[in-house]
Amino acid sequence: VYLPRPHYRCQSAMTSVKVAVRVRPFNQREKNMNAELCIAMNGNMTTITNPEEDRQSRNFTFDYSYWSHDGFEELEDGYCRPKAGSKYADQRKVFEDMGKAVLDNAWEGYNAALFAYGQTGSGKSYSMVG
C-alpha cells in the first residue's frame, strides 16, 4: 500500500513558487549620475515608467513587491530600519514573508530553494545578505 506524504504538512505545497521583487536604494554611482527613479510600488503591484518615451507605464503584479528604495534609517551596525510610517521593507520583513517558510520546509525534510535573479548590480546581494 502506497501512502503519500500528506500535503498539509508542507507549508509550501499549495504555493510551491512565490515571486517577489525588491527595489533597492540608489548606489553611489547612480546618485552621482543623478539617476531618475522609474519604479513605483503599491501593495503587490510594481509599476515601471519609461522616463524616455512619453513616460509610458507598465504594471506588473507579483506575490510580493518590496519597497526598499527610501524611508529607512541606517543604524550603527549597518542595519537599515524603517522610519515610522514609511513603506520601507527591511530584511526582517523579507525574511518573514519569504525566507521563514523556506527554512521551515527544509527543517521538515522537504527540498527548498531561495533563488535571487537579476543583472549585475541590481540588488541580489542586498536582498539576500542585507
pTM of the model: 0.77
Q: Phi and psi for 82 in degrees, rounded to 5?
A: -65, 140
Question: What is the model's pLDDT at position 42?
Answer: 94
**Using an 8 Å Cβ cutoff, are 55 and 72 in contact?**
no
- The candidate with the shortest Cα–Cα distance to 98, out of 34, 30, 40, 11, is 11
Question: What is the model's pLDDT at position 5?
Answer: 47
pLDDT in tens, the chain (130 residues): 444 444 444 454 445 788 899 998 998 999 999 999 999 999 999 999 998 878 899 999 999 999 999 999 999 998 899 999 999 999 899 989 988 888 888 898 888 888 778 778 777 777 777 5
Three-state SS string over the chain comes to: CCCCCCHHHCCCCCCCCCCEEEECCCCHHHHHCCCCCCEEEECCEEEEECCCCCCCEEEEECCEEEECCCCEEECCCCCEEECCCCCCCCHHHHHHHHHHHHHHHHHCCCCCCCCCCCCCCCCHHHHHCC
**Using an 8 Å Cβ cutoff, are 130 and 91 in contact?**
yes
Question: What is the model's pLDDT at position 17?
Answer: 82
**Using an 8 Å Cβ cutoff, are 72 and 88 in contact?**
yes
**Residue 28: how many other CB atoms lie within 10 Å:** 7
